Amino acid sequence: MATYTLGDIKHDWTVDEIRDIMDQPFNDLIFQAQTVHRMHFNPNEVQTSTLVNIKSGGCAEDCSYCSQSARNYSGLEKEKMIEVQKVIEQALVAKERGATRLCMGAAWRNPNKKDFPRVLEMVRVVKELGLETCLTLGMLSDEQVAQLKEAGLDYYNHNLDTSEAYYPQVITTRTFQDRLDTIDKIQQSGINVCSGGIIGMGEQHKDRAELLRTFGNMRMHPNSVPINLLVPIEGTPLAHMKGKTDSFEFIRVIATARIVMPQTFVRLSAGRMDLTDEAQALCFMGGANSIFYGDKLLTTENPEAGHDEMLFEKLGIKMQQNKKAMAEGKKLAEQTTELTA
């Protein structure tokens, strides 16, 4: 029997409560998730973020799903960190298309001292363009967190990926507690946390419930929770997992996340190329209200922006602050030479 009131903010979830939510009849689950969603958000508005790869390949971690790990053999070449001007150019394009946040990712276990000042500069210039900023750089020292806070970073992404029990099957070079410690540092600094998971790595239904319980029982729920559908990449240990996850199971995770974390932005992230428009529509009905927008997510494919816009039009969904962002983006695009001089 439920020990919570639908829509309340709760931090003492049990795994049985979460499994009861996730396992109920599909129509009931979607109805409850949509009810909670309408308590806290505009049901016909979606926040859009664009993801930029600022440093590719050569990561020391052994994440089984990742083409950027130096321990995997995906054929991805190690590249140096990109220049700040390139980030500005991509930020301008993202804003002109209507994105409100630029997420910048680097394939690091943790940032090195040589490149970190350039990362701080990227945060500053992207904020000057009027976009929210997000970074994913791996583990951080206390000093680096303080510097990011001073630079004005809005969000820091650090995914838990899966349950604590299943985690060692996916990653061995960094512990689950390491990830929780990094998230705690970020939250204590006042920077918003973005943290999510990956569905379809061989984990069980109970692992998905346990992952959501971990998020739901944080002293502050993550501000954004990206739910990824595994994209199996040749040369990685999980390449054989293609097509192993039912889309209805994925939608159940989305809807359950919405009920467990009523005020959190729940984001459709990697793997949308394997979801039909109808499946994505059910995700939005189930409380998803954020997407990665643009044709590339670090090293994997993503639906083209034009396709997303057509889907939104069919569903009557508007992009958050879309008109304002596009107008400002066009104006800033005309000033690109001046801004990057």
Distance of CA 172 to the CA centre of its chain: 22
Q: Quickly state the pLDDT bin for 48 (edges 50, 70, 90).
A: confident
How confident is the model at residue 303, as a pLDDT? 67
Exposure on the CB side of residue 222, measured as CA atoms within 13 A: 29
Give the tens place of pLDDT for each residue, 191-236: 999 999 999 999 999 999 999 999 999 999 999 999 999 988 887 8
How confident is the model at residue 338, as a pLDDT? 45
Residues forming the active site: 59, 63, 66, 103, 134, 194, 267
In the chain, what are the domains? Answer: 42-340 (3.20.20.70)
Give the tens place of pLDDT for each residue, 2-42: 678 888 899 999 999 999 999 999 999 999 999 999 999 99
Give the tens place of pLDDT for each residue, 52-94: 888 876 677 888 888 766 565 555 566 778 899 999 998 998 8
Q: What's the pTM?
A: 0.87
CB 189 within 8 A of CB 146: yes
